Amino acid sequence: MKSKSVAVEKSLKSSIPKTVGLMLVVCLTLSACGGEGPGTPLAQRKAIFKQMLKTSEDTGGMLRGRLPFDGPTFVAGAAKLDALSHEPWKHFPAVKEAGHTSAKDAVWERQARFQALARALEARTGELVVATQTLQLTPANMIPPMNNVEDACDACHREFRNH
């Protein structure tokens, strides 16, 4: 009987750390979700904003000498930025969601202003695309319309994003 008790005790001692470890992994996994699953509006708009930032950094980098200027790549980046600029707004639900977001409450409290700034960004990215089609593709010619895009982003961030 004593040997059976010792065997059970040894079994418990070896399984407790495994059980605790498994529980810890499950808890961390669940806490990481935090309402930001891939299909949530928050996750969708974050993904779009990240793509916009990457594209803007690349096109802006070509104009500031961080990357070599390449006309066709710049044109493609401007077109991508324009397409992306129309996407994130549909992923802002009518009521603020519970997940961690950098959006201020003002997004939902001042919808008319938020939408006006969204349309301004869309207009500026459209103007950038037009500039790539009508002006000679040089950094000097592309800087002003790109600055307008960046200014439109900054205006919205100042009013509606927690940095």
Domain ranges of the chain: 1-33, 38-160
CA distances from 98 to 34, 35, 65, 109 (A): 9, 7, 41, 16
pLDDT tens-place values along the chain, 163 residues long: 555 555 545 554 554 444 333 333 333 333 344 456 778 999 999 999 999 999 999 999 999 999 999 999 999 999 999 999 999 999 999 888 887 889 999 999 999 999 999 999 999 999 999 999 999 999 999 999 999 999 999 999 999 998 7
**How is domain 38-160 classified at the CATH fold level?**
Four Helix Bundle (Hemerythrin (Met), subunit A) (1.20.120)
Query: What predicted TM-score, i.e. pTM, was given to this entire model?
Result: 0.76
In the chain the first and final C-alpha atoms are separated, in Å, by 66
pLDDT score for 107: 94
Position 61, amino acid: G
Q: b/e map of 76-98 (b: 16 or more CB within 10 Å)? A: ebbbbbbebbebbbebbeeeeee
Nearest-angstrom CA–CA distance, 156 and 121:
9
CA distances from 142 to 146, 149, 152, 155, 158 (A): 6, 11, 16, 20, 24
Nearest-angstrom CA–CA distance, 162 and 158:
8
Position 115, amino acid: Q
